[in-house]
Chain A
Amino acid sequence: MSLPKRIIKETERLMADPVPGISAVPHEDNLRYFDVTIEGPSQSPYEKGIFQLELFLPDDYPMTPPKIRFLTKIYHPNIDRLGRICLDVLKSNWSPALQIRTILLSIQALLGAPNPDDPLANDVAQDWKKDEKGAIETARQWTQQYAK
């Protein structure tokens, strides 16, 4: 199956005009599979962290959203232990007019603004609500420990 023009163009644009703090590089043997890194946003507990993610464009992309998850361990109320991300644009609010770039920006924004009211990782969300300071401190420690 040849690669759709859309994926080729998106990849070209990601290479030619990368998003600051984000990189996405396709595998040579599978151009639908990307190695992604996202830098933790400043002023967040994830600051200075470099997070590895994997991103896969399914067969019917862009009709269905990219499949994406964190490979780096992260302490975040909207990201579970398997690295799965609770983000509306990756699920019900996906639209074919969105793209890899916008999705990665949304994920970066999610690091800057955790939302414990819409949790995926329930235990983390509870900690976050009970003791936000402590949770942020844990997130910072995890970032130092794992996101190098």
Chain B
Amino acid sequence: MNLLQRTACSFADSGEQLDPPIAPSVLMVDDAPAVDPPEKGPLGAHRDARELVRLVQCPCCSKPFTSPVTLPCGHSVCRDCLPSPQPRPNISYPNTPDRQLAIACPTPTCAAEHPTGECNIDVTLAKLMELIKAEVAKHNTAVGDNPVLLEEFLNYSSGPVGEKERGNRTAHQRRLHGGRLVSTFVMADMGELHHTSDVVYHPMGEDSEDLDSAVLERLQDVAHRELDCLVCYNMMLDPTTTACGHTFCRRCLTRVMDHSNICPCCRRDLHIPASLQDQPSNERLVKLLNRLCPDLVASRAAALSLEEQPAVDELDVPLFVCTLSLPSMPTFLHIFEPRYRLMMRRCLEGNKQFGMIMYNRSGALQGDLGASSFVEYGTLLEIVNYELLRDGRSFVETRGVSRFKILAHGMLDGYDVGRVERVEDLSLAQEERLEAEERLAAEATAQETRRINPDAQLSAELQVNMLSTQDLLVRTVSFIERMRAHSAPWLSARILHVYGGPPNDPALFPYWFASVLPIAEEEKYLLLKTNRVRERLKMVNNWISRIEGQRWTSGSSCSIL
């Protein structure tokens, strides 16, 4: 076989009676090893018979798969096409029996060695092949007509690589029956159709188009039945195969791994990182699904993306019920509950944000939410650092982004989700106006009180209301300085390392102060409801007054603070 002969072949194609093979022009290109039509889209039974059969041909023996094994690299070969296992020198961990031997991957694009423990029969693909073979056999014996002459058309690269590929291959010719699809499959099964070869069809009788379509329909039916995921009962989406040979939607498998590290089907250990980050998809099943049921794959993918990204007015904020977080401040989380693992993964794939809310420990009514188990205000957190451990737990470093109020909530796959409204500060103009009004009113009250009784003690609230917002800040800062001078443990280097020093922005300052100050979270929580800087600074000052009062009344400098 050489280039000349190829030319001769495509020349023959121009004959009137002969259907041309797929795009002869492509065949003329020397270094195209195989004709690969676009990756997706439906295949016609008659037109693309060759392409359809290629979907189930082993890259090693070129026959339709027998007992296929899907390797950790995502490629499939017949079990008998695996080279014999070799010992793996210099590997002492984990050193389990199923990992002491390995096979050199026989697929052309993978140079890896795969431990024998990870080379198991692909249960789904094996079953599918059995059914396909049975279906073909039915038509092969039942239909003696629709004869067709198949002429193999070798493809190989040019140059020395091509010389090697070619070896002593010769193109085959066969007169078979049962239409194009069945006859092509039979030719491959006879070992007379290399997986890279193309076929030129010379019809010998009536047109087999209807028959081919009928056969394909049966095969699609079989595929549809067999390629259901055992977890979600939908057609597999992005099928991913475990070392034990069981296949699930990638999403389903990751969800399974949020809960356990064993295969749902056979309960063998799944020695893969829970994220499946580096786990390739089952290449063959992906191709089969894309080519046999493209519409179903598309609608399923669309349904899923809808499910994963709800519309704006939906319950679109995942809610983590755990602790108090504050805007601009860090929160460190150790994620181990399966439902939160799922939530974190979705967050990482999405906008990296989720809501943090506290439990409603006091049982107080939460506005429109009523007697809810969690409080109605929370902080939106953004993931800044994510460390996934091998067992699926993770350490997450987050930073508070903004505050929110929960308007409605529900459950999604075991965790809370909500529709939230952002809680924001009033405009600066309003902030100023309200400060002025408050101070004027307080001043007036104070004067009136003194007028009645010059020795009267002004209430703490009044005293605070008389202060300027700036003074409130100054008081807080000086309190911190005093505490630092006393080496208060809550201002230790360790804590300052985590939360940083006091921020310059007075709007954020209270959040920092609350983060380091050892008082009840329920008190700090009130900051989330505020809509003015002044309001927050007043709260902070009240805490300070109380703490200092305690210190004075206890008469001890050895305060717990």
Q: Mark A residues whose CB is within 8 Å of B.
A: 1, 4-6, 9-10, 58-60, 62-64, 95-97
- B412–A95 contact, CB under 8 A? no
Of the candidates B233, B267, B339, which one forms a contact with A60 in the assembled complex, judged by CB atoms under 8 Å apart? B339
- Counting chain B CB atoms within 10 Å of each CB, which of A4, A58, A63 scores highest? A63
Told that A1-B412, A60-B339, A63-B258 touch, could you supply 11 new A-B pairs with CB distance under 8 A?
A5-B233, A6-B233, A6-B234, A58-B414, A59-B411, A59-B413, A60-B414, A62-B231, A95-B265, A96-B252, A97-B264
A4 contacts which chain B residues (CB < 8 A)?
232
State how many angstroms separate the Cβ of B263 from the closest Cβ of chain A: 8
State how many angstroms separate the Cβ of B467 from the closest Cβ of chain A: 50
- A97–B414 contact, CB under 8 A? no
- B233–A59 contact, CB under 8 A? no
Task: Please provide the 4 A-B residue pairs with the shortest distance between their CB atoms, ordered closest to farther.
Answer: A60-B414, A97-B264, A6-B233, A95-B264
B442 within 8 A of A: no
Of the candidates A6, A63, A95, A96, which one forms a contact with B413 in the assembled complex, judged by CB atoms under 8 Å apart? A63
- B230–A59 contact, CB under 8 A? no
Of the candidates B230, B234, B255, which one forms a contact with A63 in the assembled complex, judged by CB atoms under 8 Å apart? B255
- B267–A95 contact, CB under 8 A? yes
A64 contacts which chain B residues (CB < 8 A)?
259, 414
- A97–B231 contact, CB under 8 A? yes
State how many angstroms separate the Cβ of B436 from the closest Cβ of chain A: 49
State how many angstroms separate the Cβ of B296 from the closest Cβ of chain A: 13
- B232–A1 contact, CB under 8 A? no
State how many angstroms separate the Cβ of B311 from the closest Cβ of chain A: 13
Closest to A8 in B: B233
Given contacts A6-B232, A64-B259, A96-B256, contact A59 B267 (CB under 8 A): no
B410 within 8 A of A: yes
A9 contacts which chain B residues (CB < 8 A)?
233
A26 to B506, CA, bound (A): 57
Chain B window 394-420, contacts with chain A (Cβ cutoff 8 Å), 1 for yes, 0 for no? 000000000000000011111000000
Closest to B303 in A: A5
- B233–A63 contact, CB under 8 A? no
A73 to B262, CA, bound (A): 36
A5 contacts which chain B residues (CB < 8 A)?
232-234
State how many angstroms separate the Cβ of B337 from the closest Cβ of chain A: 11
Closest to B235 in A: A5
A97 contacts which chain B residues (CB < 8 A)?
230-231, 264-265
Main secondary structure on chain A at its contact with chain B?
loop
B338 within 8 A of A: yes
A97 to B414, CA, bound (A): 19
A34 to B553, CA, bound (A): 62
- B264–A59 contact, CB under 8 A? no
- A59–B234 contact, CB under 8 A? no
State how many angstroms separate the Cβ of B231 from the closest Cβ of chain A: 5
- B414–A10 contact, CB under 8 A? no
Closest to B339 in A: A60
B410 contacts which chain A residues (CB < 8 A)?
1
A77 to B338, CA, bound (A): 32
A5 to B231, CA, bound (A): 11
A60 contacts which chain B residues (CB < 8 A)?
338-339, 413-414
State how many angstroms separate the Cβ of A105 from the closest Cβ of chain B: 17
Chain B window 218-255, contacts with chain A (Cβ cutoff 8 Å), 1 for yes, 0 for no? 00000000000011111000000000000000001001
Given contacts A96-B230, A96-B264, contact A63 B412 (CB under 8 A): no
State how many angstroms separate the Cβ of B283 from the closest Cβ of chain A: 24
A13 to B414, CA, bound (A): 25
Given contacts A63-B338, A97-B265, contact A10 B412 (CB under 8 A): no
- B233–A96 contact, CB under 8 A? no
State how many angstroms separate the Cβ of B211 from the closest Cβ of chain A: 33
A62 contacts which chain B residues (CB < 8 A)?
231
A91 to B258, CA, bound (A): 16
8 A-B Cβ contacts within 8 A?
A: A6-B234, A59-B411, A63-B255, A64-B414, A95-B264, A95-B265, A96-B231, A97-B230
Closest to A58 in B: B414
Mark out the residues of chain B between 325 and 346 whose CB falls within 8 Å of any chain A CB in the assembled complex. 338-339
A6 contacts which chain B residues (CB < 8 A)?
231-234
- B231–A59 contact, CB under 8 A? no
